[in-house]
Amino acid sequence: MIKTLDYKDVKLSGNIRVPGDKSISHRSVMFGALANGTTTVTGFLKGDDCLSTIDCFRKMGVTIEENGDTIVIHGKGFEGLREPEEILNVGNSGTTTRLLLGILAGLPFHTVIIGDESIAKRPMKRVTDPLRKMGAAIDGREDSQYTPLAVRGGTLSNIHYTLPYASAQLKSALIFAGLHTEGVTTIVEPEKTRDHTEQMIKQFGGTIERSGNEIYVKGSQSFVGQTIDVPGDISSAAFFLVAGAVVKKSKLLLHHVGLNPTRTGIIDVLLNMGADVVVEKESTQGEPLGKVTISEKELTATQIGGALIPRLIDEIPIIALLATQAQGTTVIKDAEELKVKETNRIDAVAGELAKLGANIEPTDDGLLIHGPTKLHGGQVDSRGDHRIGMMLAVAALLTDEVVTIEGVEAIGVSYPQFFSDLESVIL
């Protein structure tokens, strides 16, 4: 689907509550299904990816009711899941694929996982290798690197495993697998990644420990159904934070936004670039959340790499656009993982933004962005990637010329109401 954006002399003003966090929504279905009793989730993200997770668990016999953005999951414990008669289709969702693999590895039945064209190109051996070491039987193309993947779960043994990538999906898959074992599984992360799985284990009455970058998961735990309020997704809020920071005379307030410190790298980057951003935390029992206000201001370039990367990995496309409006050269490095997302995001960001006049160079592990540049109109493509699609829509706010975006349907993966929220704050 093609969308033509013809924004002229716009400024942004108003309040937005972005939809629920995608990572937390996926996990709420998973823990709700694995717990005993009823789990009620409010603020659930009804994006395509999380709907794929719901669909997979329904196919394994879990009853899940939907009422707007509230869902109710009737969990019956690990033993309540049964062999699906159909193939499990994860759609476009890497999180569903990898976390599901960890859950299925210890269940005594056979499943086949497929997804879309993008999923079929994303590396899965990083997960299937350690799961096979723990005892799962997994088969798939190129030695279980790619979907379709067939899993025959069974008894798993503990592992002490150092992750070769800073990946919360890989970490979470091994945490789920560790829950199926008898003893303690130790996972070492190279950098701290989002910890929603760990937070949710505790919320559901379980335990998990951490010392430095080592995580200890005790097996044979049982969970009890909960009430979960999903905060707004900071990865979705990021598009408005950047729009508010760069579109002249703008001011936006984002409320009920998740502020888990493993996710707030975008706020650090905005502050480092000199943006006018104010964060007000609210006291909550579950995941941290609050309000973020952003006002337009002149920005300077920054350096982004190392431990900051996992804290903003999904925001790099929109941060690259931000950098096109800042004075100087912004360097993004240590971000090779961008090459294995929904599309190769280093190529996609550099290629599509260049079509709109950005001065941007792809590197082996990131991007160099020289600013500030006045963007112009053009024909661009989301390349089937929701985050590239939304970044290009924000870019269209920065030019009075027409921007035509191909493949906008991809945005439904994480933010189905993106354009109506955007239009609600355009003056």
Ligand X SMILES: C=C(OP(=O)(O)O)C(=O)O
Give how many residues touch ligand X by CB under 6 A.
10
**Taking contact as CB under 6 A, which single stretch among the options 68-76, 90-98, 219-227, 297-305 is the one that binds ligand X?**
90-98
126 known ligand binder: no
Task: Give the single-character DSSP code of 327.
Answer: B
Residue 49 annotated in ligand binding: no
CA Rg, the chain, in Å?
21
Q: Among ligand S3P, ligand X, none, what binds residue 111 when CB lies within 5 to 8 Å by partner kind?
A: none
Give the residue with the Cβ less far from ligand X, 276 or 336. 336
* Site of interaction with ligand S3P (CB under 6 A): 23, 95, 167-170, 172, 194, 313-314, 337
Which of 228, 283, 234, 229 shows the shortest CA–CA distance to 16?
234
342 binds, among ligand S3P, ligand X, none (CB under 5 to 8 A by kind): ligand X
311 binds, among ligand S3P, ligand X, none (CB under 5 to 8 A by kind): none
337 vs 406, beta carbon nearer ligand S3P? 337
C-beta of residue 165 within 8 angstroms of C-beta of residue 191: no
Instruction: Give the three-class secondary structure for 66.
Output: strand
Q: Read off the tokens for 217.
A: 């998961």
Q: Which of 314, 334, 365, 400 is catalytic?
A: 314
Q: Environment class of residue 193 by beta-carbon count within 10 Å: exposed (0-12), middle (13-18) or buried (19+)?
A: buried
Smallest gap from residue 73 Cβ to ligand X (A): 20
* Separation between Cα atoms, residue 203 and residue 286, nearest integer Å: 7
Q: Taking CB under 6 A as the rule, does residue 341 contact ligand X? A: yes
- Contact mark string toward ligand X, 300..319, x via CB under 6 A: --------------x-----
What is the C-alpha to C-alpha distance for residues 65 and 310, in angstroms, rounded to an integer? 33
- In Å, how far from its chain's centre is CA 306? 19
263 is in an annotated binding site: no
Residue 25 lies near ligand X (rule: CB under 6 A): no
Shortest Cβ distance from residue 342 to ligand S3P (Å)?
A: 9
196, 387, 390, 396: residue in contact with ligand X (rule CB under 6 A): 387
The verdict on whether residue 314 carries a ligand-binding annotation is yes
122 is in an annotated binding site: yes
Beta carbon nearer to ligand S3P, 3 or 263: 263
Q: Which does 40 bind (CB under 5 to 8 A by kind): ligand X, ligand S3P, none?
A: none
Give the list of residues 6+ apart from residue 380 with CB closer than 8 angstroms, or none. Answer: 352, 355, 356, 392, 395, 403, 404, 405, 406
Site for ligand X in 221-240 (CB under 6 A): none
Residue 79 main-chain phi, psi, to 5 deg: -70, -15
Would residue 314 show up in a list of annotated catalytic residues for this protein?
yes
- Span interacting with ligand X, options 57-65, 75-83, 93-101, 321-329, rule CB under 6 A: 93-101
Q: Does 95 bind ligand X (CB under 6 A)?
A: yes
CB of 189 to ligand X, least distance (A): 17
Please list, residue by residue across 31-51, b when 16 or more beta carbons sit within 10 angstroms of its beta carbon and e when fewer do: bbbbbbebbbbebbbbbbbbb
Which DSSP string do the residues of 4-32 spell out, in sequence order? EE---S--BEEEE-PPBPHHHHHHHHHHH
CB neighbour list of residue 292: distance below 8 Å, 6 or more residues apart: 237, 241, 253, 254, 257, 259, 267, 277, 278, 279, 280
Detail the residues annotated as belonging to a binding site for phosphoenolpyruvate. Answer: 22, 94, 122, 169, 345, 387
Q: Catalytic site residues?
A: 314
